[in-house]
A and B are shown apart, each in its own frame.
Chain A
Amino acid sequence: MHHHSALAGSTPANSTTIDHLNDQGAIAPSISIRHLDHFFGKGALRKQVLFDISLDIDSGKIIIMTGPSGSGKTTLLTLIGGLRSVQSGSLKFLGQELCGASAQKLTWVRRQAGYIFQAHNLHGSLTAQQNVAMGLEVHSEYSGSEMQQLAAAALEHVGLQDRIHYHPKDLSGGQKQRVAIARALVSRPKLVLADEPTAALDSTSGREVVNLMQQLAKEQGCTILLVTHDNRILDVADRIIHMEDGALVQNTKQKTIDLSNH
Chain B
Amino acid sequence: MKPTLKTTWLQTLNRRTPLGWLQLSHEKSRLLVAIAGIAFADILIFIQLGFQGALYDSNTALIRALDADIVLVSPSAKNTQNLATFPRRRLYQARDIEGVESAQAIYSGVIQWQNPQTQLEANIQVVGIDPDQIAFHLPEVNDQLDTLKIPQAVLFDRKSRGEYGNVIAQVEQGNRVSTEVDGKTVEIRGLFELGASFGADSFLMTSQQNFSLLFPRRSSGSVSLGLIDVAPGQNAETVAIALRSYLTEDVNVLTLEEFIAKEQAYWSTESPIGFVFGLGATMAFVVGVVIVYQVLSTDVNTHMQEYATFKAMGYRHRYLLSIVFEESIILAVLGFIPGALLSIGLYRLAAHATSLPLILTVNRAILVFILTVIMCLMSGAIATQKLQAADPADMF
Q: What residues of chain A have their CB less than 8 Å away from a CB belonging to chain B?
A: 74, 77-78, 81, 83-84, 107-108, 110-111, 115, 117-119, 121-126, 130, 133-135, 137-138, 140, 142-144, 147, 167, 195
Interface 9-mer from B81-89, B118-126, B308-316 = B308-316
- B22 interfacial by beta-carbon distance below 8 Å: yes
Q: Is the CB of A130 within 8 A of B306?
A: no
Q: Is the CB of A143 within 8 A of B312?
A: no
Q: Is the CB of B26 within 8 A of A144?
A: no
12 more CB-based (< 8 A) A-B contacts, given A84-B393, A124-B306, A143-B15: A78-B396, A108-B314, A111-B313, A121-B305, A121-B395, A125-B19, A125-B22, A126-B22, A130-B22, A135-B313, A138-B313, A142-B15
Cβ 8 A contact of B15, one of A108, A144, A167, A195:
A144
Q: Is the CB of A107 within 8 A of B314?
A: yes
Q: What secondary structure prevails in chain B residues at the interface with A? A: helix
Cα–Cα, bound, A75→B17 (Å): 31
Q: Is the CB of B393 within 8 A of A78?
A: yes
Cα–Cα, bound, A107→B392 (Å): 12
**6 closest Cβ contacts across the A-B interface?**
A111-B314, A125-B26, A110-B314, A144-B15, A121-B309, A83-B393
Point out the residues of chain A lying under 8 angstroms from B16, CB to CB.
137
8 of the cross-chain contacts (CB-CB < 8 Å) are A74-B396, A83-B396, A110-B392, A117-B309, A119-B305, A125-B23, A125-B27, A130-B22
Point out the residues of chain A lying under 8 angstroms from B315, CB to CB.
138
B145 CB to closest chain A CB (Å) equals 72
- B248 interfacial by beta-carbon distance below 8 Å: no
Q: Is the CB of B393 within 8 A of A123?
A: no
Q: Is the CB of A195 within 8 A of B396?
A: yes
- B303 interfacial by beta-carbon distance below 8 Å: yes
Cα–Cα, bound, A143→B10 (Å): 11
- B14 interfacial by beta-carbon distance below 8 Å: yes
Cα–Cα, bound, A142→B393 (Å): 27
Q: Could you tell me how many residues of chain B have their Cβ less than 8 Å away from some Cβ of chain A?
A: 27
Q: Is the CB of B15 within 8 A of A147?
A: yes
Residue of A81, A83, A122, A138 contacting most chain B CB atoms (<10 Å): A83
Point out the residues of chain B lying under 8 angstroms from A83, CB to CB.
312, 392-393, 396
CB interface residues, B 1-24, toward A, < 8 Å: 11-12, 14-17, 19, 22-23
Among residues of A, the one whose C-beta sits closest to the C-beta of B22 is A125
Q: Is the CB of B17 within 8 A of A137?
A: yes
A253 CB to closest chain B CB (Å) equals 24
Point out the residues of chain A lying under 8 angstroms from B23, CB to CB.
125
Cβ 8 A contact of B313, one of A134, A140, A144, A147:
A134
Q: Is the CB of B15 within 8 A of A137?
A: yes
Are A130 and B17 CB-contacts (below 8 A) given A111-B313, A138-B314? yes
Among residues of B, the one whose C-beta sits closest to the C-beta of A135 is B313
Q: Is the CB of A134 within 8 A of B17?
A: yes
Are A121 and B306 CB-contacts (below 8 A) given A126-B17, A133-B17? yes
Point out the residues of chain B lying under 8 angstroms from A133, CB to CB.
17
B115 CB to closest chain A CB (Å) equals 62
Residue of A143, A144, A195 contacting most chain B CB atoms (<10 Å): A144
B295 CB to closest chain A CB (Å) equals 15
Cα–Cα, bound, A134→B25 (Å): 18
Point out the residues of chain B lying under 8 angstroms from A140, CB to CB.
12
Point out the residues of chain B lying under 8 angstroms from A78, CB to CB.
392-393, 396
Cα–Cα, bound, A97→B116 (Å): 94
Q: Is the CB of B312 within 8 A of A110?
A: yes
Among residues of A, the one whose C-beta sits closest to the C-beta of B310 is A134
Cα–Cα, bound, A78→B396 (Å): 8
Among residues of B, the one whose C-beta sits closest to the C-beta of A146 is B15
Cα–Cα, bound, A112→B282 (Å): 49
Are A77 and B396 CB-contacts (below 8 A) given A107-B316, A125-B26, A137-B15? yes
Point out the residues of chain B lying under 8 angstroms from A108, CB to CB.
314
Are A81 and B312 CB-contacts (below 8 A) given A121-B306, A123-B306, A124-B306? yes
Q: Is the CB of B313 within 8 A of A117?
A: no
A112 CB to closest chain B CB (Å) equals 8
Cα–Cα, bound, A142→B12 (Å): 10
Among residues of B, the one whose C-beta sits closest to the C-beta of A119 is B305
Among residues of A, the one whose C-beta sits closest to the C-beta of B16 is A137
Cβ 8 A contact of B395, one of A117, A130, A138, A144:
A117
CB interface residues, B 314-330, toward A, < 8 Å: 314-316
Contact digits for B269-300, partner A, Cβ 8 Å, 1 yes 0 no: 00000000000000000000000000000000
Q: Is the CB of A143 within 8 A of B11?
A: yes
Cα–Cα, bound, A135→B314 (Å): 9
Among residues of A, the one whose C-beta sits closest to the C-beta of B316 is A107
Point out the residues of chain B lying under 8 angstroms from A81, CB to CB.
312
B30 CB to closest chain A CB (Å) equals 11
B348 CB to closest chain A CB (Å) equals 39
Are A110 and B306 CB-contacts (below 8 A) given A126-B17, A144-B15? no
Contact digits for B25-53, partner A, Cβ 8 Å, 1 yes 0 no: 11100000000000000000000000000
Point out the residues of chain B lying under 8 angstroms from A125, CB to CB.
19, 22-23, 25-27
Point out the residues of chain A lying under 8 angstroms from B395, CB to CB.
117, 121
Point out the residues of chain A lying under 8 angstroms from B396, CB to CB.
74, 77-78, 83, 117-118, 195
Among residues of B, the one whose C-beta sits closest to the C-beta of A227 is B396
Cα–Cα, bound, A219→B312 (Å): 24
Residue of A81, A117, A119 contacting most chain B CB atoms (<10 Å): A117
